[in-house]
Amino acid sequence: MNNVKTTPPTPAKSKRPWLLYLLGAACLLAAILWGGWYGMYGRWYASTDNAYVQGDVVQITPQFHGTVVSINVDDGEWVFAGDTLVMLDPDDSQLALDNAEAHLANVVRKVRGLFSAVSGAKAEIAARQATRDKARADYQRRRALTLSGAISKEELAHANNAFLEAQSALEAIEQQYQQNLSLVDNTSLASHPEVLAAIAALRVAFLDRSRTTIVTPVTGYVAKRKVQLGQRVQPGEALMAVVPLDKVWVEANFTEAQLRDIRIGQPVEIYADVYGKTIRYNGQVQHLSIGTGAAFALLPAQNATGNWIKIVQRVPVRIALTQPEQLISHPLRVGLSMQVNVDLHDRSGALLAQRSPEPLLATDVYRDQLSQSDTLIERIVKANGGNL
């Protein structure tokens, strides 16, 4: 039997160490790259995609009850401040206005009579004074003749009675004059309290009549139309809304750690998901909310009861769009998702906003409603006031 020596096979070299080396090198390179990115860029920016477009949703509500007879706009349509949105049936308010006009005319005539009564009483006083003076002179003359026996005592008594009657009549008319004067003293026809009250009632009726035409207080786009033709509406009932899309802003919700270096006035880069990264909006931090979103929720968290699990909170940050012209070519809509990058280089800004001296929102579409009644009031007073 031949003894044959066999050589054992050489084991194959394992590739695992090289894979581990490559993985370690890749991790090291990634860490170096991330560190470089964070040092050069990342630590100077706070970013979040938990951001959404917000805007003023101006509710359109009637100020007078009535039945809807006309709807002039629909959802998505553009309206200018002062445009008519809804018309209510004006019959009830017109009847009330007619009644107020008649009441003002009647009050003006009544007050004119009070002024005339004062003038008449004043003239009556002068006449009664002359009668009293004549009766007194007759009495004094007859009393002198009585001493010489030229006339009887009976005739003197008659003269005395006539004097006393004239004096009493004068006192009565003077009292009536003071009573009439107290109703018009220190006033004119236009400033008399009863006339002013009637004018105020007319203004109310005039406003109710004008408010049957419901207008928009702002320029924007119609949304959430609920009103229907023939509907009986009440004051304060929401009919539709108008959203001024040229004044929208972005509300970004940053974590507590990100909030550390965010200040008011810092510049912001904003991107909308609907347009992608090719369209950039320029913004600025306007103010930071005074509480987290959970703190103002309908049912806020009760962290002092039961088992507690820490949840990272987010704070809303309002970002204003600094170039409104960007919204013309690429309009934004309320609720759209956004991505924001806040530049943290300048950290000298305030943490809390100050109150602006200017009103946040204002409209003048209702300013002339009351002044338009002045012409009607002037005409009624002039037509019924005579020469006063």
Q: Are 366 and 217 in contact, with CB atoms under 8 Å apart?
A: yes
Residue 282 confidence (pLDDT) above 80: yes
pLDDT surpasses 60 at 89: yes
What pLDDT is recorded for position 38? 67
Q: What is residue 311's predicted lDDT score, i.e. its pLDDT?
A: 84
The CA–CA distances, whole Å, from 153 to 140, 157, 313, 329, 347 equal 13, 6, 113, 113, 114
* Mean pLDDT, residues 278-306: 87
The pTM of this model reads 0.75
pLDDT tens-digit series, residues 144-200: 767 666 676 777 677 778 778 878 877 777 787 777 777 777 778 888 888 999 999
DSSP bridge partners of 45: 343
Residues 6+ apart with CB under 8 A from 71: 85, 86, 87, 225, 227, 228, 229
Q: What is the pLDDT of residue 118?
A: 74
Q: How many CB atoms lie within 10 A of CB 210?
A: 20
For residue 338, pLDDT over 90 is answered with yes
pLDDT of 231-247, one tens digit each?
Answer: 999 999 999 999 999 99
Going by C-alpha positions, the residue among 25, 33, 195 that lies closest to residue 112 is 195
Among candidate residues 73, 27, 373, the one with its CA nearest the CA of residue 223? 73
Mean pLDDT of 242-263: 93
What is the Cα–Cα distance from 304 to 220, expressed in whole angstroms? 45
What average pLDDT does this structure show over 359-378?
86
From 87, 83, 88, 86, select the one nearest 216 (Cα to Cα). Answer: 83
pLDDT confidence of residue 269: 95
Per-residue pLDDT of 16-74, as tens digits, reads 676 777 777 788 778 877 777 666 665 678 899 999 999 999 999 999 999 999 999 99
Sign of CA dihedral 137, 142, 147, 153: negative
Average pLDDT over residues 120-135: 78
Alpha carbon 73 to chain centroid, angstroms: 23
Does the pLDDT value for residue 354 go beyond 90?
no
189-226 pLDDT per residue, tens: 888 888 999 999 999 999 999 999 999 999 999 999 99
pLDDT (0 to 100) of residue 235: 94
Contact 243, 315 (CB under 8 A): no
Q: Which of 168, 145, 165 is nearest to 156 (CA)?
A: 145
The DSSP 8-state label assigned to residue 352 in this structure reads S
> What number is the average pLDDT over the span 303-307?
76
Which of these, 323, 252, 316, lies nearest to 282 by C-alpha position? 323
* pLDDT the model gives residue 11: 58
What does the pLDDT read at residue 8?
A: 60
State the amino acid at position 301 in one-letter form.
Answer: A
Contact 59/214 with Cβ under 8 angstroms?
A: no
More confident residue, 222 or 133: 222
Q: Which amino acid is at 257?
A: A
Query: What are the pLDDT digits (tens) for 101-111?
Result: 999 999 999 88
Dihedral angle of Cα 382, 383, 386, 388, to the nearest 10 degrees: -20
pLDDT at 132: 78
**Number of neighbours of residue 240 by Cβ within 10 angstroms:** 23
